[in-house]
């Protein structure tokens, strides 16, 4: 069993690195940790970075998860290899680019680029962004799936993800107490569906709604509230069409042993209990 401890980073190719950086700092509210040549490292919490934009193909998207140590990483590599997933061991240069001690890369059954990393770097400097969006941390990702049942099986049986709730056949999965760290989203091709940051309060969600609207950032869903996790949310579109989400108040699963996933219907009200409708960003409306 591959033990994912936490989400660590996302790496996104940017067709225009300058534009991506401007969005990340002026709209999203991240802090530049470091700019080195063709890569921009962005912070959302006390880690050295949680998002890296690099000059490249926007379809080149990777999600990194933290695992405990190098022996767990080696065991994960052996498990994946045995299951027929080709594994790439990160070279020292590639590790330096990710600010981790070691990592392996592989593809999930849909073809999403996944990395497992050991010892992601933290920063002694506190996160301090130039735009106060109220961000408290990097929290979850939506991952495209071309076969929800198969991918749920991969994340829950090969890895330690547990299903918290389902909308239709779409699983919202946790790797710790937080309601979900991985949300599957039906799609025709691999890729990151959305990137979530938590914010401090409902006020932050609504403040950002007005701020981003004023900046002409396309709002694609919300403000609203998910009946599954209980989170109040706002989804909006960033560079190269990537969807970002702010949310607050996500439930924690208090009793790991007795929690049973709830089944929600595959309909808009399962995504927003206030009546907001997604502009094609989430399945029941797309
Ligand atoms: Fe989300």
Residue 285 pLDDT greater than 80, yes or no: no
How far does the centroid of ligand 1 lie from the alpha carbon of residue 93, in Å?
A: 32
Q: Which value, in Å, is the radius of gyration of the alpha carbons in the chain?
A: 18
Structure confidence at residue 130 (pLDDT):
87
How far does the centroid of ligand 1 lie from the alpha carbon of residue 221, in Å?
A: 11
Tens digits of residue pLDDT in 228-240:
999 999 999 999 9
149 band by pLDDT with thresholds 50, 70 and 90: very high
How far does the centroid of ligand 1 lie from the alpha carbon of residue 224, in Å?
A: 12
Q: Which of 69, 62, 75 is nearest to 108 (CA)?
A: 62
Q: Give the residue carrying structure tokens 């997604």.
A: 278
How far does the centroid of ligand 1 lie from the alpha carbon of residue 194, in Å?
A: 7
In this structure, the number of other CB atoms found within 10 A of the CB of residue 262 comes to: 13
CATH number corresponding to 135-285? 3.10.180.10
Structure confidence at residue 283 (pLDDT):
57
- C-alpha span between 235 and 113 (Å, rounded): 23
Give the strand order in the sheet containing 61-66: 31-36, 39-43, 51-55, 6-14, 61-66, 113-118, 102-107, 88-89
Residue 91 pLDDT greater than 50, yes or no: yes
- C-alpha span between 181 and 197 (Å, rounded): 11
Query: The domain at 6-118 falls in which architecture?
Result: Roll (3.10)
**Residue 85: C-alpha distances to residues 11, 64, 162, 232 (Å):** 21, 16, 21, 37
pLDDT > 70: what percent of the chain?
98
The two domains 6-118 and 135-285 share their CATH topology (first three levels equal): yes
Structure confidence at residue 278 (pLDDT):
87
> How high is the mean pLDDT of the chain?
95
Structure confidence at residue 279 (pLDDT):
80
DSSP letter assigned to residue 50:
S
Protein residues near ligand 1, an ion, with CB under 5 A:
196, 245
pLDDT > 90: what percent of the chain?
94
Structure confidence at residue 286 (pLDDT):
36
How far does the centroid of ligand 1 lie from the alpha carbon of residue 112, in Å?
A: 17
Structure confidence at residue 37 (pLDDT):
84
How far does the centroid of ligand 1 lie from the alpha carbon of residue 238, in Å?
A: 15
Query: What residue spans define the domains of the chain?
Result: 6-118, 135-285
Residue 184 pLDDT greater than 50, yes or no: yes
Tens digits of residue pLDDT in 114-146:
999 999 999 999 999 989 999 999 999 999 999
How far does the centroid of ligand 1 lie from the alpha carbon of residue 16, in Å?
A: 25
How far does the centroid of ligand 1 lie from the alpha carbon of residue 271, in Å?
A: 10
Structure confidence at residue 282 (pLDDT):
65
- C-alpha span between 30 and 127 (Å, rounded): 8
Secondary structure class of 92 (helix, strand, coil): helix
Among 36-45, 90-99, 161-170, 275-284, which stretch is predicted with the lowest mean pLDDT?
275-284
Tens digits of residue pLDDT in 33-44:
999 889 999 999
How far does the centroid of ligand 1 lie from the alpha carbon of residue 183, in Å?
A: 7
């Amino acid at each position: 069993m591959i033990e994912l401890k936490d989400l660590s980073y996302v790496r996104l190719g940017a067709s225009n690195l300058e534009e991506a950086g401007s969005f990340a700092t002026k709209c999203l509210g991240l802090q530049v940790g470091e700019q080195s040549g063709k890569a921009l490292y962005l912070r959302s919490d006390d880690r050295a970075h949680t998002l890296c934009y690099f000059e490249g193909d926007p379809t080149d998207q990777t999600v990194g998860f933290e695992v405990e140590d190098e022996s767990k990483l080696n065991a994960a590599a052996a498990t994946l290899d045995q299951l027929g997933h080709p594994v790439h061991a990160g070279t020292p240069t590639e590790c330096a680019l990710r600010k981790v001690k070691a990592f392996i890369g592989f593809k999930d059954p849909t073809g999403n680029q996944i990395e497992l990393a050991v010892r992601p770097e933290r920063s002694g400097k506190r996160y301090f962004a130039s735009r106060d969006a109220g961000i408290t941390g990097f929290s979850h990702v939506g991952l495209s799936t071309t076969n929800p049942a198969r991918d749920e099986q991969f994340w829950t049986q090969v890895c330690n993800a547990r299903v918290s709730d389902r909308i239709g056949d779409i699983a919202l999965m946790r790797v710790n107490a937080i309601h979900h760290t991985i949300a599957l989203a039906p799609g025709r091709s691999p890729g990151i569906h959305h990137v979530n940051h938590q914010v401090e309060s409902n006020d932050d969600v609504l403040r950002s709604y007005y701020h981003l609207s004023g900046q002409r950032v396309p709002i694609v869903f919300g403000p609203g509230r998910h009946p599954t996790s209980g989170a109040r949310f706002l989804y909006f579109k960033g560079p190269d069409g990537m969807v970002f989400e702010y949310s607050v108040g996500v439930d924690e699963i208090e009793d790991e042993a007795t929690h049973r996933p709830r089944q929600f219907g595959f309909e808009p009200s399962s995504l927003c209990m206030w009546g907001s409708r997604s502009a094609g960003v989430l399945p029941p409306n797309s």
